[in-house]
Amino acid sequence: MMHTADMLKAFARHRGNAIVVPGRGGRHWVDLTARPGLDVPLGDPAMGGHACFALGLALARPEKKVILFDSEGDLLMGLGTLVTIAEQKPANFYHFLIDNGCYATTGGQPVPNADKVAYDVIARGAGYPRAFAFGELDEFSANLEQILSEPGPVFVALKVVAEIENAPIGRRRRWQTRTRDQVISDLRKELRIGD
Amino acid sequence: MNDAPAIALNPETVLGEMKKNGVTHVVWLPDSETNWLYLLMQAEPSLRLVGVTREGHACAIAAGLSAGGAKPLILIQNTGMMESGDSLRGWLLGLNIPVVLMVGYRGWTRHGVTQDSAATYTERFLLAFGLNYYLVESDADAPRITVAFDEAERTKRPVVVLVGDEYHGFNR
């Protein structure tokens, strides 16, 4: 199992000028990113939609790589998303799944059937042409460059250590540095949308 | 008893409104009120169809498309719109997405008497979310679709077009 921050550090070296939707990795990514204008840290607008949002971005900007760090709790709310992504076949879409086996922000309760779900198998069954699963950082790091060098859509399930939060929401450290409006506005500026 | 108006809403008219307003992607889940559009949309080279398996997904996909500079249209049924409540709140209203939702008005009758609770709760749902909406039943109403697009752009909010015209055999 790997730590999310270490996994994102390994990824940061290969980010290039990709759009990154950091999902629940946002709290770590905010300290690692070199291109914040191309990051889309939205927190949690409505659970179950991150993969769909990133798909929409990928379809709108086929010339840019879109990298999503999804989470298993979010994906489980809408597994049908995988079928839609597979049908659309966005070659610029890279779907990483941060799987900590639980609902970490609500106190660490396990997701249903947490230890027995093979998300890479589900993705492949939904029609993703390539799907991988990694439990160790070394193995992930060794394969990452190759994974990102080939066309998407690709799915990469990552087993990570849970970072459980039990403090009341109002007392938690707020890692977001921009409002959602600002995030979208900055992205559109970087992409020269509306020029 | 079907009390739909004698002059129907033609799919060519709706497609014309989409093209006129620069729609690039139709994010949709088929229903009995709008399925007559499918073949026409499929044959239209300027449109990309994105099929979803649950209507709430359409809201998040449309949000991503809009953020990336595309112009999506959401095409779903009222039942699915109600299912999508949290996605509407978070992805469309929360991110100020200027998008039109064309929503099949299952159970709609002009006199208001309906046995279908999907119709009973449709407008109450829209009012609860503060979503403005326009009813379209026939070709004569079609300009309201452009009104909805203009309003969405101006207000940076989702606007709904209720399609009160059930399937009448154009999908052949």
State the nearest Cα–Cα gap between A160 and chain B, in angstroms: 26
What is the 8-class DSSP label of residue B103? E
Residue range B131-158: mean pLDDT, rounded:
96
| Domain chopping of chain A, boundaries | 4-163
Instruction: Say whether B64 and A53 touch across the interface (CB within 8 A).
Output: yes
State the nearest Cα–Cα gap between A1 and chain B, in angstroms: 30
Residue B166 has pLDDT above 70, yes or no: no
Residue range A127-142: mean pLDDT, rounded:
98
> Can you tell me the distance from the alpha carbon of A14 to that of A64, in angstroms, rounded to the nearest whole number?
14
Residue range A28-37: mean pLDDT, rounded:
95
Residue of A38, A53, A181 to mutate, testing the B interface (most B Cβ within 10 Å of its Cβ): A53
Q: Determine the residue type at B19.
A: K
Q: In what order do the strands lie in the sheet with B72-77?
A: B48-51, B25-28, B72-77, B100-104, B159-163, B133-136
Q: B-contacting residues of A 45-74, CB under 8 Å? A: 45-61
Confidence class of residue A139 from pLDDT cuts 50, 70 and 90? very high
Residue A1: name the closest of A98, A137, A125 by CA: A137
> Can you tell me the distance from the alpha carbon of A194 to that of B97, in angstroms, rounded to the nearest whole number?
15
**Residue A13 in contact with partner chain B when CB distance is under 8 A:** no
The region of weakest confidence among A159-163, B77-81, B162-166, B168-172 is: B168-172
pLDDT in tens, B105-143: 998 888 888 889 999 999 999 999 999 999 999 999 999
ipTM of the complex: 0.95
Of A52, A87, A193, the CB nearest to B64: A52
Q: Which residues lie across from A133 on neighbouring strands?
A: A157
Q: Which residues lie across from A113 on neighbouring strands?
A: none
At residue A102, φ and ψ (nearest 5 deg) are -150, 170
pLDDT in tens, A58-93: 999 999 999 999 999 999 999 999 999 999 999 999
State both tokens at B77: 């049924």
Q: What is the mean pLDDT of chain B?
A: 90
What architecture does CATH give domain A4-163? Answer: 3-Layer(aba) Sandwich (3.40)
